[in-house]
Chains A and B, each alone.
Chain A
Amino acid sequence: MHFIKTLPFILITLLFIGCGENTKNPVTSDILSITIDDNSTTSGFIYATDTNKTLKATVHYQDGTSLDASDYVTWKNSNFDVLSMYRGEYSAVANGGKSTISIEYGNFYDSLDIEVYALKSNSLAIFTTNDINTTGTFSIEAKGDFIDIDTNATVDTNRTILNNILWSTTNDAVITIDDNNLVEVEIINTGETNITASVFDYNVTKTFIIN
């Protein structure tokens, strides 16, 4: 009698459980590979005086999808004497050279060789957009030619120098550099003002005489 009372419970349980199915394909696609992506037009090289470039790490899955994994992989730089690098953001610290940036996660790996194009000797020059013949504030910039050290071939000319540059002045002139690396000099006093740009081992000075 009591067994009969428990029978519905047993049957309902078995019915409930018997309805089960099995998922046959993994619901989370497995990892296929990781890659370093450089979406810039200058992939594989950087000019010695350019501002930071940013690489991206991408994880690719077996179902064809991919996600940005830049914050999760381990970034490595083979030569910190040539490049500075943190989590894929890098810039040159030497006038020429090569380094390999790589990413790792478990058994997954990818790398990208980066060459630093060097500022050519005797090509550094200071330019102004207007003639400086009075006191006031003026835009200035330094430009130079760049070469591939391996082949000594010129790869760019009159390229504006945005990084690894030191400015100095005389005659109390003041240099300011904004967030976009635009440089202005404020000529305060009359007389001779020297403006010097130093890039790695190269220096160039331009003199302005204000009456």
Chain B
Amino acid sequence: MKKIILFLLLISSFLYAEAKLYTGFSYGIYDENFIEGNKAQSSSSFMKIKAGYGDIDAYAIEFSIDKLKNESNIFSANDSEKIGLNVELIKAFDFNLFANPFFKAGFGAGYLKIDRATQDTLNYGSFNLGVGFFIPVNPHFDFELAYDYKYMTYEAIDTIARQISYKSNLNSAYFGFNVRF
């Protein structure tokens, strides 16, 4: 418990230094390869809205909601888009370049609607990693270009006689902008 409190104090002290609230929007493409359960693949586009608190050249914590368009039918004959909520900690650097590189780590959870005899939704969780760049235009506006990796674990598919679990690697690249207040 003490370690958690110390960690949170440390994070809050990092965030406090010139920290700003910010919000943003991103659009990108993703490719998802299923590594456990039956083999399958899904590729399409996604969009993300987010809100965060932190510094463009230090630490930030970010909450995002992403909506992954779906063009595959892996779990059922009519899989829907995925809606997910993510929490990520970002560490950015200022090397006095035109762009601030960053990396981030976090986790997320979401769901998609499926059309199976015994299930109509499927939940999933994810561990998230990412690297990218903030490209500041002015103190209140910057572009963002990044690569994200998610290790996804899905709720089991119920076939009565078996419970089939799926896991996947999801790679994505996106471009977006942030507005800082």
Contact = CB atoms under 8 A, between A and B. Distances in A.
Contacts of B31: 16-20
A104 to B, nearest CB: 11
B11 to A, nearest CB: 28
Q: Chain B: interface secondary structure?
A: loop
Contacts of A31: 116-118, 159-160
A3 B34 CA distance: 33
A27 interface: yes
Given A31-B117, A68-B161, A21 B43 contact: yes
Nearest to A29: B159
A28 B133 CA distance: 40
Interface string A1-15: 011001001100110
B73 A26 contact: yes
A27 B41 CA distance: 10
B147 interface: yes
Interface residues of A, number: 35
A23 B73 contact: yes
A161 interface: no
Interface string B88-115: 0000000001110000000000000000
A63 to B, nearest CB: 11
B30 A21 contact: no
A3 B135 CA distance: 10
A26 B76 contact: yes
B38 interface: yes
Interface in A175-191: none
A112 interface: no
A27 B160 contact: no
A114 to B, nearest CB: 23
B173 interface: yes
Contacts of B40: 23, 27
A28 B173 contact: no
B120 to A, nearest CB: 11
Contacts, number: 103
Contacts of A166: none
Interface hub of A26, A67, A73, A108 (most chain B Cβ within 10 A): A26
A27 B98 contact: no
Contacts of A9: 147
Interface in B134-161: 145, 147, 157, 159-161
Contacts of A23: 40-42, 72-74
Nearest to B97: A2
A21 B34 CA distance: 12
A143 B30 CA distance: 74
Interface hub of A3, A21, A22, A105 (most chain B Cβ within 10 A): A22
A9 B37 CA distance: 31
A72 B118 CA distance: 13
B73 A73 contact: no
Contacts of B172: 17
Contacts of B72: 22-24
A13 B41 CA distance: 17
12 contacts: A3-B99, A6-B133, A10-B145, A16-B31, A17-B43, A20-B41, A22-B41, A23-B41, A27-B39, A28-B164, A31-B116, A34-B160
Interface of A: 2-3, 6, 9-10, 13-14, 16-31, 34, 59, 61, 67-69, 72-73, 105-108
7 closest A-B pairs (Cβ-Cβ)?
A20-B43, A20-B31, A27-B38, A67-B161, A22-B72, A23-B40, A31-B117
